[in-house]
Structure formats: structure tokens, C-alpha cells
Structure 1
Amino acid sequence: MNQEKNVGSVNLEDILSSRGRVRILKILVGVGELNISEIARRAALNYTTTNQHLNALVKAGLIQEKDFGKIRIFRFREENQRAQAIKQLVNFWESNKTCR
């Protein structure tokens, strides 16, 4: 719940201004959850950059981190209203790539 209080402090511009963050969001919208190494591989980013982007997305309340020992899993937060809006945008954009 504390995470929800900090969500308002993150600007949409900050989330969408990074190609890496957008790639990560698209990946997690599509699959739901993955470990950090697989996210980095699919997004074609190095581990450190991926970790920085994931931390920003966690702070924004769009994704959730779950730790299982040394394994970190990141999950798209379907229950978050802003995450739902991002998901709708991603799905709309991806399904209408040929529209001009």
C-alpha cells in the first residue's frame, strides 16, 4: 500500500521517455512476469540498465518485484489503474501499427 502513495510522484513523461522502459513494459504486458535476466535478454539491454529501468517501473507502481532467493521476478501489476491504462495503450498501439 505504501507503494501506491509514491505512485503520484512519477511523471508519465519519465516512464515513456525511455525506449528501454517502453520495451520492458511491452514485454511484461505480453507475458505477465519474467526474471530480470530474461527481461534484459528480450529487451536487448544489459543487466545494469534493465535493473535501473525495473526499479523506476516498480517505483511508479506499474510492476512488482518478487524475490525467490537469488532469483528476482518482475510482474506487471494488472490491478493498478495506471498499469491498466499502459496495457491498453500498448495493446492498442501494437494492434494498430499499420494505421496512419
Structure 2
Amino acid sequence: MLKIEKTIPNNKLPPLEEILSYKARIKIILLLVKVGELNITEIARRTNLNNKTCKEHLKYLTKVKVIQEKKYGKIRIYRLRVENPKIRSLTNFVQNWNSN
């Protein structure tokens, strides 16, 4: 199980190498850049992660404010926080990297 060791101030993201230190997190971020928003089942399916691993990484990315979780009853939808300039820059980088 992943441990979230320190609390990040509301307006500050952890270092990029910490955010991208797991392949699973990179897969989740790349997927959300591509499709916008998805529920945990679809994220796990499309990234080939098991639900437990996916949930742990989504919890971390939500806690450090890289992604946002919206709840609709029992369904949780995740999306990148593109209103944050650093996340928007990361999104632009990924889109440019993956373009022809």
C-alpha cells in the first residue's frame, strides 16, 4: 500500500519526480490527458491496473491536487485539475509529446 508521507500545502504541488515516480501514476495521467474524465473502473481497465492499485494512486493524486474527484452517488469521476497552471503545463507537454 502507498503511503502519503507528508501534507502538501493547498497551493503547492509536490516535486514532479514524486508525482511521476510510479508507472501507474504516469499511465493514469496520460489517460486523463487523452480522454478528460473517467470513473475508477474505466481507468483501471484502460491502464491495465488492478482496482486496488488504481484506487491507491488515484487517492494519492487527489490528495496532492493533481486530479479532482467528483462524486455522483456511489460513482466517482476523476479528471486532471487543469485550472492549476502546472497541471495545464503538464497536460500541454503530454499533448505536444504525443502529437505527430
Q: Structure 1 length as normaliser, TM-score?
A: 0.83
Which protein is richer in helix relative to its size?
Answer: 1
Contact 2:13 2:66 in 1 (8 A): no
% identical aligned pairs: 48
Task: Give SS of 2:83's match.
Answer: coil
The unaligned stretches of length 5 or more in structure 1 are: none
Q: Which runs of 4+ in 1 moved over 3 A?
A: 4-7
Q: Distance in 2 between matches of 1:34 and 1:77?
A: 13
Counterpart residue type for residue 63 of structure 2: K
Matched residue pairs, number? 93
Q: Distance in 2 between matches of 1:83 and 1:29?
A: 10
The unaligned stretches of length 5 or more in structure 2 are: 1-7
Match of 1:52 in 2: 56
Match of 1:6 in 2: 10
Match of 1:15 in 2: 19
Deviations 1:25-57 (A, max 9, x none): 011111110000000000100111111111121
Q: Structure 2 length as normaliser, TM-score?
A: 0.83
